[in-house]
Amino acid sequence: MLAAMRSMAPVVGQRHARRVAGVAAKRKRTHNPRSAFTPVKLPAVSRRKRQAFTLVELLVVIGIIAVLVAMLLPTLNKARQAANRVVCLSNLQQLGFVMRQYAAAEHDQVPVGTWEDWRWHSDVIYYNQGPLFYTSMGLMYQEGFLVNPQTYYCPSMNDPRWQYNNPLNTWPPGAPGGSILTRISYASRPVVDWPPDQSSQPIDWSTNKSIPMPRLLRLKNKVVLADLMINEDYLNSCHISGVNVLYGDGEAQWVARAVIDQPAMLGGVPNGVDPSDIADTCNNHYLNRANENIDTGYIPAQDAGGAWAALDTQYGR
């Protein structure tokens, strides 16, 4: 019997070993988290191959863009012109405020008028040859009443001779190698003459003596500053369809071009007068003084007529 038991021991041992191995394997599967998931291979997402634009498609797109730009440009230009007109009007309002400050300090006197007896030089504020000096509207800057010199300049002006700080109109005035004259882009009422020297007062050429500046109170309902209107070329260099003006009481407003282009209000350019001649067109057309010609000698200053008088009629409208 003992021998039989000994012969069965290897068989029992093998069974026990298999049982132990089976339990161990089961425990291993139970404690391995990865054994609970079966990896699945996802199918690749198909992508269409991109195709380049054809030449015809590109030309169509370019054509559409060109049409849109052509449609938008006039609108953008009008918007820019309207914005510049507003800035210009604001400049005149600021100059009006400065002018009233100057008048309060100078017994109601204001520095408006023309340089020498040249009616188209009502925009000159500094002479940069020989004796260097400020004149007319330039006195407001020289004496510290005007802080920002760009207020003197209309943003719509496209002629560099009346633009701020360039080789043809240098700023600050008096800089070595600068332009002969420093101009602003607004004309002041040509009611007195300012001499070509260092005098800070207008002059009466008949006596060759200084005279007082115009009084602001007497110019209350008259235009004291306006966009350049020496002739049509100058008008067309700015707002074209009209002018911004400043009245003596500080009111600034827009006036349509038709007001100063009415033949009944202007003397017109007489026969035989060259319309391109600045002196003749300024004196005859924009001042309504057909008998005045700068080439014949000195012409005394007097209250402005012509376009200035036409603009006066728009006060308060």
State the burial class of residue 269 (Cβ atoms within 10 Å of its Cβ: 0-12, 13-18, 19+): middle
224, part of any domain = yes
- In the chain, the number of structural domains is 1
Closest to 306 in 3D by CA, of 288, 283, 281: 288
Give the phi and the psi of residue 242 in degrees, each rounded to 5: 175, -170
* Residue ranges making up the domain that contains 285: 80-312
70 token code pair: 């052509």
pLDDT tens-digit map of 66-100: 888 888 877 778 888 889 999 999 999 999 999 99
pTM summary value: 0.71
Task: For residue 166, list its beta bridge partners.
Answer: 169
157, part of any domain = yes
178, part of any domain = yes
Write out the chain's pLDDT in tens, 317 residues: 545 445 555 555 566 566 656 655 555 555 555 555 566 666 555 555 556 778 888 888 898 898 888 888 777 788 888 899 999 999 999 999 999 999 999 999 999 988 876 666 788 898 877 778 898 999 999 999 999 999 999 999 998 999 999 999 999 888 787 888 899 999 998 888 888 876 788 888 778 888 899 999 999 999 999 998 877 777 888 898 999 999 999 999 999 988 887 644 444 444 455 545 555 556 555 665 544 443 333 444 455 667 888 889 999 88
**Taking a C-beta distance cutoff of 8 angstroms, is the pair 110, 224 a contact?**
yes
181, part of any domain = yes
pLDDT tens-digit map of 236-264: 888 989 999 999 999 999 999 888 876 44
112, part of any domain = yes
What kind and span of H or E run contains 76? Answer: helix 55-105
250, part of any domain = yes
| Tokens 């802080």 sit on residue | 147
33, part of any domain = no
Rounded distance between C-alpha atoms, residue 120 and residue 286, angstroms: 10
| Tokens 């330039």 sit on residue | 138
119, part of any domain = yes
Rounded distance between C-alpha atoms, residue 48 and residue 271, angstroms: 80
